[in-house]
A and B are shown apart, each in its own frame.
Chain A
Amino acid sequence: MAKSVIDALVERFPGAVYEPYVGVGGDDCAFVQKDRIADVCRALKDDPKLGFDLAPYVTAVDYLGQEPRFEVVYNLYSTRNNWRIRLRVKVPEQDPVVPSVTPVWRGCDWYERYCWDMYGIRFPGHPDLRRLYMYDEFEGHPLRKDYPLRARQPLVPERDVRDIFRGPGPAGRD
């Protein structure tokens, strides 16, 4: 169904869109080169025959231990044709920068802020790239797999409560 879209993309952006495959759930997916993603998205939206006018979800994945480490996933939807495709962009850890697609779809604003907040991926071209969920004083990016599990960054001074169920417990618990 949306296979033709992916094929057209591969043909139109040779080298930038590669490795098309059918993902879980039957959506057609492809990988996109990092610096071309904004162009590809712009083409998908502006082509009247495709009409991908909705980006229902943009998120990131941390594949710790693999190279490149991160991946930004764009789930796109065409309300005109009832097509869904998924674009994946591989992002290296040393240079976690992906061009923003907020100028293409205004609704991607918070998704990209979310990716910056939780994974530390920057989106040049975004109008206001701040943290979305965490507070400004927060250090680090909590959904990265190497963020320490028990790290706490309280905003107000907290009383230390020694409880019996948490922490290094008896019998190798936890």
Chain B
Amino acid sequence: MASELEMVPAITTRREEAQGFLQRMVSKGMGWARKYSLFQYPFVTACCGMEYMTLASARYDLDRFGAALPRFSPRQADLLMVVGTVNVKQAPILQRVYAQMAEPKWVIAFGVCASSGGFYDNYATVQGIDRVIPVDVYVPGCPPRPEQVLDGIMLLQKKIQDQAHQLTERRPPLPERR
């Protein structure tokens, strides 16, 4: 993903050039720092959770990738792992959990049910969580091997490294709550 910081305008002053260089360095450094400190929130709803436990425990050891601590509050997490089937009744909860996470945040769809609904092509199941929240990495499999998930984590790390990070995020204030 070519970040906006990479794009250099045709005519630049020395000052802009210097600022852009500085911002790029800051962004790279922050990407490096952020990709190795993923605090995950496991949204575990189904059988994939067993595979998630294997992934998080000693044999496969998610800690090697800096994603060691599952936080059980979305407010302390920056990686949402949706592990298992999400049905229509749960979709508002998932959306709320996603909204509660602080920026920057990323989402992994763990398993085929979270990715596309899987074989639950029926009245009760959301056909992939990307219909409800944005997803960064899809890991298919029923359940996926832990190696697949580790590969997905590494893909996400690559993505985080390539993103544009800023020291201070300036965005318009949220609309007033009714």
* Interface set of A (CB-CB < 8 Å, partner B): 133-135, 142, 147, 150-156, 158-161, 163, 165-166
C-beta contact mask, B92-122 vs A, less than 8 Å → 1, else 0? 1001000000000000000000001000011
Given the complex of chains A and B, what is the CA–CA distance between A142 and B123 in angstroms? 7
- Looking at B92, B116, B130, B131, the one whose CB has the most chain A CB atoms below 10 A away is B131
In the complex, what residues of A have CB within 8 A of residue B131's CB? Answer: 154, 158-161
9 CB contacts below 8 A, A to B, read: A153-B88, A153-B123, A154-B88, A155-B92, A156-B92, A156-B132, A158-B131, A159-B132, A161-B128
Chain B's interface size range is 10 to 19
Given the complex of chains A and B, what is the CA–CA distance between A163 and B128 in angstroms? 11
In the complex, what residues of B have CB within 8 A of residue A166's CB? Answer: 121, 127
Main SS of the interface on chain B? Answer: loop
A135 and B91 form a contact (CB under 8 A): no
| Given A152-B123, A153-B123, A163-B116, A134 and B130 contact (CB-CB distance below 8 Å) | no
In the complex, what residues of B have CB within 8 A of residue A142's CB? Answer: 122-124
| Given A135-B88, A153-B88, A158 and B126 contact (CB-CB distance below 8 Å) | yes
| Given A159-B131, A161-B131, A163-B116, A154 and B123 contact (CB-CB distance below 8 Å) | no
In the complex, what residues of B have CB within 8 A of residue A165's CB? Answer: 116
In the complex, what residues of A have CB within 8 A of residue B124's CB? Answer: 133-134, 142
B127 and A161 form a contact (CB under 8 A): yes
B178 at the interface (CB under 8 A from A): no
- Looking at A135, A155, A160, the one whose CB has the most chain B CB atoms below 10 A away is A155
Given the complex of chains A and B, what is the CA–CA distance between A135 and B128 in angstroms? 19
Going nearest first, the 9 A-B pairs with the smallest beta carbon separation are A158-B131, A142-B123, A159-B131, A135-B89, A156-B91, A156-B92, A155-B92, A155-B88, A156-B95
B130 and A161 form a contact (CB under 8 A): yes
In the complex, what residues of A have CB within 8 A of residue B89's CB? Answer: 134-135, 155
CB distance from B2 to the nearest CB of A (A): 24
- In the complex, the chain B residue whose C-beta lies closest to that of A143 is B123
| Given A155-B88, A156-B91, A147 and B123 contact (CB-CB distance below 8 Å) | yes
Given the complex of chains A and B, what is the CA–CA distance between A161 and B117 in angstroms? 12
Q: A155-B91, A161-B128 are in contact. List 6 more A-B contacts (CB 8 A).
A: A134-B124, A151-B123, A153-B123, A155-B89, A156-B92, A159-B131
C-beta contact mask, B120-142 vs A, less than 8 Å → 1, else 0? 01111011101110000000000
- In the complex, the chain A residue whose C-beta lies closest to that of B125 is A152
| Given A134-B89, A135-B88, A159-B131, A154 and B121 contact (CB-CB distance below 8 Å) | no
